[in-house]
Structures are given as C-alpha cells and as structure tokens.
Amino acid sequence: MQNFAEQCLDIARSISVHNLGYINKDGSIQSVEHENSTGDEAAHIAFALGEYYRLTHEINFSDYNIIDLAAKVIGFQVANPPKNSDWGGYIALALLSFGAVKERNPVWEQLSEEVHGRLDSLLIRRPDLKHNNGFACAIAKSVARHGLRLAKRDDTWKWVDRFLAYCDEHSTSGFFDSGNGQGTGGNFDVKGLSNLSFIRQALHLHTDNFALERKLPSLRTHAEKYIRLIPDLIREDGTCWVYGDNAGAYAQMYCISVVIQALRDNWIAPDKQSLYVNVVLDLFQKFFCHYIDQEHGYMVIRDGERSSGTEYSSIRANFDAMRYLCQWSRLARKSTINAGRIRRVSAFKGGNRLVIFDKNIKKENGLFIYRDPKTGLNLQLPLIGGNGQGNSDSLAFPHCPGVFDWPTEKYLPILQPEFTIEGKRYIPSYYGKKLSTGLGSRSAIIFTYEQPELITVEEEIVPGIGNCRVTWTFSEEKIISEFLYIMKERVRVDRLQYIIALSAPHSIYGANNLALDERSLGAVVEHDDMLLRWQEIREVGEDPDYRSCYGKIHYLQELSRRHPLIMHPGQPYRLVISFTPDVIRI
C-alpha cells in the first residue's frame, strides 16, 4: 500500500500549506470568514503537527518550524482552555508524538516552566465521562503521564477496563453509547469508531508492551463489531455511515482509521483482507473526491451547498484531516499487504441486516440496513437515541444521501408523522420494542418495531397516551412505510405533519453520486385515516439552514393536517405511504 501512503502524505502537505498561515505568532488561531472559533483548534493543530513529525521526522516545513509551532499552540491552548473536556487528550497525544520521554522531547524542552505546570495539572485532571470522548481522553492523558514520567502510577489499564465495562453495561452487544445523559440514551453512532481509533492510537504510544499485549484482545473484541459492520454500510460510491452525529467527512475518516489500524494489527482474517483493502480504497476515494478541493488541495466541509456540525470549524477539520492522512500514511507503510495484487472491485454488496445495539426490558435500539445492488441504494434506518438534541440526524427513517435526505443539525419530521398534543410533539423514533425483520410477498424485506408508549421530539417517553407500530417494506420496485397508532385515551391532535426533503448532490464535489431523476421519489399516499393533505411545495435552496453534509436541500414537500383531529381510544389509525425512487448516478 505504498502508493496509498504517498498519496496521503501529499494531500497532508497540501492541506498544511493552506492552513499553517492561520496560526498567529502567539499560538492563537484565526477563524475562517463567517465562522466562529470552537476554542479547541490549537489542541487539534498540535496533534496534527505531531503526527506529521512522527511520520516524516521533518523539523522544517516550507517557512515553518514544526517544533516551534507545536510549542506555541500547546502553550496557547493550556493558557486558554475551551469549555469542552476532550481537548486534553489531543494535547497529550500531541506531546507523545514528538517523543515518549520528556528528556528527549523537543517540544517539551521548548515549553516554559509555567506551561509545564499547567500541563501537569491538565493531564491529572479527571475528565467528564458524560462527554462522548471522556474515556478516550482519560486513556490518552494517562498514557502521556506515564510516558513523560509525570506520575508514578500508571492508570491507563484501569481506564481501558472502565471503557470496556461501559460498553458492556450500556449495550448488550458491546457497542459504545455516546450519550451525554440527555434523552433516552442508546446513542449508537459513529463516535464509537472515533473512540476506538483514538484509544488504539494512544495505546500504541504506551511504553509497557507487555501490558498492552494483555489488553488488546479485549479491545479487539469490541472493535471487531464495528469492523464487521463497515462493509455493510459502505455505498457503491464509497459513502459510509450516514446517520447520527459526525456524519459526512468525519465518518469517512473514522472508518478508514479503524480499518487501517485493524489491518496493521492483523485483526482481519487473511481471506477477508482483500475485501477490507477495497473498503479502505472506496472510503478514501469518496473522501478525496467529495471533501478535498481538487484545485487548491485543502478540505471543504462547509460551503454554499452543504454544511457540517457546529462543533467543527473549517480550521479544525483541515488539521484533523491532515492528522488522519499522516496516520494512514504511516500505517500503510507498515502494512505487509500488497494492494497492487488485490483485484480492485467495489466493496458494495446487496442484502439486508438488522443490528441490535441494545436490548433490555424498557427499550431496544438497533439499525436496519437494506442494500439493493440494482439501484445502488444503501438505506440505513437507525432506531437510536439523539442525545435530546431534537434534530433529524438520528430519526428512524431510511437515510440515503441524494435520495432520502435531511438537513444536518436541524429538526424536521422527515418521512415520519409528527403529532402535536397539548404543546408536545411526538414522533416514532429513538427507541422501540420487538425489532424484527422478515420476508413479505415477492421476496420483499420487512422491518418492523413497536413503541408501547409515545415519545416526544425531546426524547421524553410519555405514558398513557397511546402506542405505535411502524413497518417498512423494501422491494426492488417499491418502498412502503406504514404507521399504525392506537390511542389509550381520547386525544386531541392540534397539528399533524410529515415532511419529504428533496435535494441534489453537490454540483462540484463527488463522483458517481446517487440522485433522483425526473420522477423523483414517487411518493403516494396508499392509506390515510388522518385525512392529511399535500401542501404547497416550499423552496429552501437558498436557506443555509437546509443543507446536509452531502449537498443542498432544494424543496420541502409537506403532508399535513392543519386543523385538530380527535383520536378515539382503541380505534386504529393508519398512515401508509409508498415510494418508487427514480434513482440515477451522476
């Protein structure tokens, strides 16, 4: 994989050329026009510089001295700590990247005694475990304390055990719940991959190889659950993991990192290595074509057609990309796999799969995946918590950029009926019971779940109102959604609405993207006991709030009832809507 390694290094250098100028002389960071600083860019820049130094051992790059820059941004960051709690982990691994022993660490030698004292306090400070990166941050700081000899006791393995125990306590299948204590919990998104990749990178810098060998099998057991999931999530054009927080560019980077680390560690069986090499190449091709400006060579996550999470600034994203590219290059150089001898084929395959993340007496969380090789559709229907954020990223509808789209970090009842009852909005997402799949007529695939109690958009389960049963049916010709409500008491619904978002892929970035042709989604109301009506189509193409991580949303099609509906107890109310997507590749 030497060619891949060189390509990653070339892109990393190109990104650094365009972004090192944003670092001021005092180590502070300038913001891109029309963006606000997230406050933790300096920590991410330090880690990126450390990865570049670890890969190349170059001290000077262009007109910049890497050691001086790293010392400046670390000094500035510890003097101006941001509100979030995970930046300390990036500082810790940044320091270790320049040297595991402080006496031979050129950045440590450049820092003043005042900064040394602040770093000592930072690395010993207990992290906020409610933060989704809390455990990974604790492990990274513990590795740094041990490596830099700032503590006599090594707590790294205790924190690894606590991380693994947390996964087992919050998931019957051993996945990572990135919930922050808000909502119903069960937020099984791509941040699990982020944590595993970060932890594995931190442990690779640990000096106690004997203890490392004892702990890796347990970490591998949890990582393999995600590794086996990635080939089922990847689309024909290389898009992967499109639901939940951190979808888009970061999801691509997390997936590539975990797979390359697994290949380096021989966690993938020899007969599966060719598949995962193709997975890496597909993911990287999508990342390169969709998020790297081909003319200038820097990363673009936010422009006039798409957006990204507010926790990421463009500066932070560019240096994170630089860091990951250097990591991929370093790991690929160590790989013994000859990618040139592996037949280059798409990793996309047809089929369907139901993944149960957690199953207990109160609720179940899972993910249904439907893949159609004929049309290229890869539909990811999550039933997970959303941290009480009330946005569309985690709603239970088939996510598929370019076909079934949604605005990032904004709430709309996409492909689901929303009931407004006494000022509260209810939507059939976030949790379920009796998740199951089956075969229907003409080899159709059925996915169904129940909600014994209704849940609000803010993830409050309200007992005593009613229950809901949701059924999705997938076949080559048609996709059918059915929502069946039975109320437990007489209920007045003040408003009921259902939204379809119509979008288009990015006009400049990307290749072989899925899109809708002239017949669009072909939405038809098959059965309606609630007497809904199609409203006038809303054009939102120029509104920056209606952009996804992949392209611009142009129109919103609303099916709603704008006058009250009285729903009687025990009487079934069904809403059935079918889709015949006219899918093309552009």
Tokens found for residue 315: 């500066």
Does 457 map to a domain? yes
- The per-residue pLDDT for range 194-227, each reduced to its tens digit, is 999 999 999 999 888 888 888 899 999 999 999 9
Residue 376 is predicted with a pLDDT of 85
- Looking up residue 164, the CATH number of its domain turns out to be 1.50.10.10
Helix-strand-coil split of the chain, %, nearest 5 = 35, 25, 40
Does 59 map to a domain? yes
Buried b (16+ CB within 10 A) or exposed e, 224-248: ebbbebbbbbbbbbbbbbbbbbbbb
d(CA 525, CA 480) in angstroms, rounded, equals: 10
d(CA 89, CA 202) in angstroms, rounded, equals: 9
445 lies in the same domain as 467: yes
Does 346 map to a domain? no
Decide which of 309, 341, 373 is a domain's last residue: 341
Does 214 map to a domain? yes
Distant-in-sequence, close-in-space partners of 219: CB < 8 Å, separation ≥ 6: 160, 164, 196, 199, 200, 203
SS (H, E, C) 114-171: HHHHHHHHHHHCCCCCCCCCHHHHHHHHHHHHHHCCCCCCCCHHHHHHHHHHHHHHHC
403 lies in the same domain as 470: yes
d(CA 222, CA 227) in angstroms, rounded, equals: 9
Decide which of 341, 361, 376 is a domain's last residue: 341
Helix/strand/coil for 524: strand
210 lies in the same domain as 321: yes
Tell me which residue range forms the domain holding 68: 2-341
Do 397 and 414 form a contact (C-beta atoms < 8 A)? yes
330 lies in the same domain as 382: no
**Alpha helices (H) along 469-550:** none
Number of domains in the chain: 2
- Looking up residue 427, the CATH number of its domain turns out to be 2.70.98
Does 94 map to a domain? yes
Residue 436 is predicted with a pLDDT of 96
464 lies in the same domain as 490: yes
Do 547 and 302 form a contact (C-beta atoms < 8 A)? no
432 lies in the same domain as 533: yes
531 lies in the same domain as 397: yes
d(CA 73, CA 57) in angstroms, rounded, equals: 19
Does 575 map to a domain? yes
Helix/strand/coil for 338: coil
Per-residue model confidence as pLDDT tens for the chain (586 residues): 788 999 999 999 999 999 999 999 999 999 888 888 888 899 999 999 999 999 999 999 888 999 999 999 999 999 988 877 678 899 999 999 998 888 889 999 999 999 999 999 888 887 777 667 889 999 999 999 988 888 888 889 999 999 999 999 999 999 999 887 788 889 999 999 999 999 999 999 988 888 888 889 999 999 999 999 999 999 988 999 999 988 999 999 999 999 999 999 999 998 899 899 999 999 999 999 999 998 888 999 998 888 887 788 899 999 999 999 999 999 998 876 665 556 656 656 778 999 999 999 999 999 999 998 888 899 999 999 988 788 899 999 999 999 999 999 999 999 999 999 999 999 999 999 999 999 988 889 999 999 999 999 999 999 999 999 999 999 888 999 999 999 999 999 999 999 999 998 888 887 788 899 989 999 999 999 999 999 999 999 999 889 999 999 999 999 999 899 999 999 999 999 999 999 998 8
- The per-residue pLDDT for range 35-90, each reduced to its tens digit, is 888 888 999 999 999 999 999 999 998 889 999 999 999 999 999 888 776 788 99
Buried b (16+ CB within 10 A) or exposed e, 52-66: bbbbbeeeebeebeb
Does 478 map to a domain? yes
Phi/psi at 342 (5° precision): -95, 130
140 lies in the same domain as 190: yes
Residue 339 is predicted with a pLDDT of 59
561 lies in the same domain as 535: yes
Does 447 map to a domain? yes
311 lies in the same domain as 264: yes
Residue-wise DSSP of 372-441? ETTTTEEEEEEE---TT---STTSSS-BBTTTB---TT----BTS-EEEETTEEE-S-S-BEEEEEEE-G
Question: 533 exposed, middle or buried (CB, 10 Å; 0-12, 13-18, 19+)?
Answer: exposed
Half-sphere exposure of 48 (CA within 13 A, CB side): 26
331 lies in the same domain as 394: no
Residue 131 is predicted with a pLDDT of 67
Residue 495 is predicted with a pLDDT of 95
Decide which of 308, 341, 374 is a domain's last residue: 341
In angstroms, how far is the first alpha carbon of the chain from the final one?
A: 29
Helix/strand/coil for 288: helix
Tokens found for residue 130: 């409610």
297 lies in the same domain as 377: no
Residue 344 is predicted with a pLDDT of 59
Do 328 and 261 form a contact (C-beta atoms < 8 A)? no
